[in-house]
Amino acid sequence: MFSQSEENYLKAIYHLSLISNKGISTNSIAEKLETKASSVTDMIKKLSEKEVVVYKKYKGVKLTDLGSKIAASIVRKHRLWEVFLVDKLNFSWDEVHDVAEQLEHIKSEKLVDQIDAFLGFPTHDPHGDPIPDKEGELKIVEKSLLSTLSKNEKGICIGVDDSSSEFLQFLDKKGITLGKQITVLEKEEFDDSLSIIINDKKMSISNKIANNLYIKKS
**Residue 130 identity (one-letter amino acid):** P
d(CA 47, CA 45): 6
pLDDT average, residue stretch 14-26: 90
Taking 90 as the threshold, does the pLDDT of residue 144 lie above it?
A: yes
The full length of the chain comes to 218
Q: What is the pLDDT of residue 140?
A: 79
Is CATH 3.40.50.1100 what the domain over 144-217 is classified as, yes or no?
no
pLDDT average, residue stretch 16-22: 87
- Asked if residue 141 lies in contact with residue 130, where contact means CB atoms within 8 angstroms, the answer is yes
Architecture of the domain made up of 4-63: Orthogonal Bundle (1.10)
User: Mind giving me the DSSP string for 156-213?
Assistant: EEEEES---HHHHHHHHHHT--TT-EEEEEEE-TTT--EEEEETTEEEEE-HHHHTTE
Q: How confident is the model at residue 142 (pLDDT cuts 50, 70, 90)?
A: confident
Extents of the domains making up the chain:
4-63, 144-217
pTM of the model: 0.89
pLDDT average, residue stretch 95-115: 96
Q: What is the pLDDT of residue 25?
A: 94
Q: What is the pLDDT of residue 132?
A: 96
Q: What is the pLDDT of residue 62?
A: 96
Q: What is the pLDDT of residue 22?
A: 87
